[in-house]
Structure 1
């Protein structure tokens, strides 16, 4: 049995994405009480979309060029996550006097603006996103999300190379 097939590798990607989401929602938010800022919510959305790309790869099980298409799409989604996480890390690294003032909540913004304006407003960042709630090994939570999206990008790009062609056995 060949363990490194494309579907299994996509399943591992899917489980990693939704494992990260479960950790963020069930442990950090529900157990420890950390409320996600708008950047955190956007990062969760990107992680969920990335997981769905991997899940579709599991279901479809493409061959040859299709594997590269899924890998490229997954890498593209992960790069979007890198951009959002990078901006969040940058915002947290600003000196206190340069941090933008706290803005309205994401729910309020969604009520008063079209979605494209909400996205632009959130990506500008505010004081709630600059707050550092927790660190592990000296890296903030958005820093770990950035590391994970970089890892997912690399994983996605190497996915077709890691997947071996199934071998036939005549037993």
Structure 2
């Protein structure tokens, strides 16, 4: 476990690779299995892409400031992804009484202003509360929350450790 702090660039590259693998699995579920993502799933994908890019960029240079800045941005994106996944998990555990399928993410963004589209995306729809896939008792949103939380804890530990050094 010590290698995480002695070789932070490798650990950050590993986080980026895990994010890419998760994105590939999400695309597999969408295109091979036939699960259409809801608006909250798409937001989580964008957060995952952001974590992958920022941790990948953080792993490129050995400068401490470079690693800290990109890791901090990755931490914020992981927190945002965890928040979205937690909200979707809550919707799955407490589905609304009148679930209606809303527009897809792109339809919302294209047809409404940003100030109206943002609340619509996070409100969720019947699709966001549906449980279409489970693994070991957890839904996609549950697993997404766990991974985003793990990334956030790792990045926080890395930033605290780098600040003390």
Normalising by structure 1, report the TM-score: 0.83
Contact 1:100 1:127 in 2 (8 A): yes
For structure 2, which runs of at least 5 residues remain unmatched after alignment? none
Cα distance, 1:98 vs structure 2: 2.5
Cα distance, 1:32 vs structure 2: 1.0
List aligned pairs for 1:1-20, cutoff 5 A. 4-20=6-22
Contact 1:100 1:125 in 2 (8 A): no
SS in 1 for 2:59: helix
Q: Is the radius of gyration larger for structure 1 or structure 2?
A: 1
The superposition leaves residues 18-42 of structure 1 with CA deviations (integer Å, 9 ceiling, x where unpaired) of 11101111x2112211111111100
- Bigger Cα displacement from structure 2, 142-151 vs 106-115: 106-115
Q: Does 1:111 align with 2:110?
A: yes
Normalising by structure 2, report the TM-score: 0.86
Q: Does 1:120 align with 2:119?
A: yes
Q: State the alpha-carbon separation in 2 of the partners of residues 119 and 62 from structure 1.
A: 36
List aligned pairs for 1:22-171, cutoff 5 A. 22-25=24-27, 27-63=28-64, 65-95=65-95, 98-160=97-159, 161=161
Higher-RCO chain (CA-CA 8 Å, sequence separation at least 6): 1
Cα distance, 1:99 vs structure 2: 5.0
The superposition leaves residues 120-163 of structure 1 with CA deviations (integer Å, 9 ceiling, x where unpaired) of 2110111111110011111111100000001000111122538x
Matched residues, number: 159
Cα RMSD (Å): 2.1
